[in-house]
Amino acid sequence: MPRRAGIQTEVLVSLAVVMLLSTVGVSAVWAVRHEATLRALVGRALLQEARAVVPAPPGRALFPGTDWWEVSEGDLIRPRAGVGRALDRETRALALEARRTGRPLLRPGAVWEEMRFAAPLANGRDVVLARLPRETSLRLRAVPLLVGAGVLLADALIFTAFGVVLLRRRVVGPLQRLSHTARALAEGAPGVRAREEGSAEAAELARSFNDMTDALEGRSEELHKAVVGLRSANADLRLAREGLDRAERLAAVGRLASGVAHEVGNPIGAILAFLDLARRDPGISEDTRSHLARAGREGERVRVILRQLLDFSRPRRGEPVPVDLTRAASEACDLLHAQRRYAELHFEASSRPGAPPALAEPEAIAQVLLNLLLNAADAALEPVEGAPSFSDDVERLVIRVVVEPAALHGRAEDDGDPAGWARRHPDAVRCVIADRGPGVAEEDRERIFDPFFTTKPPGEGTGLGLANAARMAEEQGGRVSLVEPPEGFSTAFALTLPVPRRPDAGEPGHDPDPAAAQPSADPASPFGVRRRR
């Protein structure tokens, strides 16, 4: 980009040219008038001295160093005064012209030339001549030149100083500051405003700039709001799309469940009938009868699971009752530990003081706990790259189950100490199941509760365990979530459920006495086992 001259330089140069021309013109007129005045004064002075009867002595002469001659008729030349220089041709010619015209003549010549004077005497025949030296001519005529040069120099200095101060203060300075303000605005500096200063035009330009800045900020704010709205709309659309995907998968699950129920329901009914017949045999022992009864209950639970699979997308119909979540978790651990695949696992089930019972359907809670425990057991048995074998690292086979009071709904006090709030005002109970498996990858955390999503090899998982657990927990008014694991564990899932509302309490579980929070009736066991007294 070519470099351009500033407005100060252009204005100063333009005005300097105008001032120079005007000053030169004025000086020329003044020099001409001075020359005319000088000729009149010098001419009168020389005429007076020429007509004097006795020439003035050299020390008192008006123009020292002047040569005087007197030329009579017949061109007789007689020196009258001076330094005795010879009469030159130009002075002689001036004498002839003065005699012819009968008038005194003054020929100043150039500044660096000698001045010549001729005046006829009263008799009309004689002429008096004078020739002033160059020094006198320079002294008399250099004054206007010096004055003109001084005026020109003074004008230049005054104009430059005044122009620089005035332009910089009234025009250039405000424009420069406005330029800096515009550059700061372009760099994104907030709250940038131009000062309204200088001339009326500069102040008007600053006002226009500020109006433009306000308009830009308003439009930028509107654009920001539009972008935020678009992001929110995109997020809503993404959630809606995920909901549609989930609904489509749930519809597929419903269709699949119909076939499964038809194919599996009849054999399960037959198995339950044979188990009932075998249990009535009087020749079996009490232990065998107990095992058959337990197998019958598990068969009934399979039948319930089939019904739940058929009702995967339907709202729950059973009535919630108080459920001892600690006992339910212990029985689920016992049931899982009885299987040969999970015989090597160690289940640690415990509860925190003040953990209230849950308000839910026992069968649904049993299914949720089994799904979560199966997920943890499979993860614990899954080999971890770089970890020692199970025989060398027995701690990897530990699955910890902890039941503790919790807060299902957020409150303002939760920000400071949510765990403390849950202990003081429990409105829910939580069962945390932790394992030391490979953990959940960061990219899978958003999808682990989607139906048919699984990280297990083909043929080993259907991807319905966590999806069913999350759905059934939501039907009970609770939730299943991936939480921060305890120290030493890699993964933890939490089942959070509401607690029974006491008639004399304003909120669920809001009782300072943890023992008083227990219902009067013995909480039901989801596996059909009554608590030992």
Closest C-alpha among 131, 44, 137, 47 to residue 91: 131
Asked whether 128 and 118 are in contact (CB, 8 A), the reply is yes
Give SS3 for 67. Answer: strand
For residue 103 the two structure tokens come to: 């008038």
What DSSP designation does 439 have? -
The Cα–Cα gap between 93 and 116 comes to 10
Give SS3 for 88. Answer: coil
Residues of the chain where predicted confidence (pLDDT) is lower than 70: 1-10, 12, 52-62, 74, 82-84, 124, 141, 143-145, 148, 167, 243, 246-263, 266, 308-318, 384-394, 409-425, 458-462, 502-533
Half-sphere exposure of 115 (CA within 13 A, CB side): 23
For residue 72 the two structure tokens come to: 């009579």
pLDDT at 518: 41
Closest C-alpha among 146, 148, 147, 202 to residue 179: 202
pLDDT at 521: 42
CATH placement of domain 320-517:
3.30.565.10
The Cα–Cα gap between 496 and 410 comes to 13
The Cα–Cα gap between 41 and 38 comes to 5
What DSSP designation does 388 have? P
For residue 362 the two structure tokens come to: 């026992």
For residue 141 the two structure tokens come to: 């005529």
Give SS3 for 25. Answer: helix
Asked whether 432 and 402 are in contact (CB, 8 A), the reply is yes
Asked whether 116 and 43 are in contact (CB, 8 A), the reply is no
Half-sphere exposure of 479 (CA within 13 A, CB side): 8
pLDDT at 462: 66
Asked whether 348 and 398 are in contact (CB, 8 A), the reply is yes
pLDDT at 262: 57
Q: What is the pTM of this model?
A: 0.43
* Residue 86, H or E segment: none
**Which of the following CATH numbers is that of domain 223-314: 2.60.40, 1.10.10, 1.10.287, 1.10.3470?**
1.10.287
Amino acid identity of residue 308, one-letter, is Q
Residues of the chain with CATH 1.10.287: 223-314
3-state secondary structure 321-383: EEECHHHHHHHHHHHHHCCHHHCCCEEEEEECCCCCCEEECHHHHHHHHHHHHHHHHHHHHCC
> pLDDT tens digit string along 278-337?
888 888 888 888 888 888 888 887 877 777 666 654 545 568 899 999 999 999 898 888
* Cβ partners under 8 Å of residue 147, min gap 6: 30
Question: What sign does the CA torsion over 20, 22, 25, 26 have?
Answer: negative
Closest C-alpha among 489, 295, 277, 525 to residue 376: 489
pLDDT at 433: 95
Give the CA angle between residues 514, 518, 523 to the nearest 5°.
Answer: 145
The Cα–Cα gap between 454 and 199 comes to 76
Pairing of strands 105-107, 428-435: unpaired
Asked whether 136 and 65 are in contact (CB, 8 A), the reply is yes
Asked whether 37 and 108 are in contact (CB, 8 A), the reply is no
Residues of the chain with CATH 3.30.565.10: 320-517
Asked whether 80 and 68 are in contact (CB, 8 A), the reply is yes
* Cβ partners under 8 Å of residue 311, min gap 6: 317
Runs of H (alpha helix) within 69-168: 89-101, 134-167
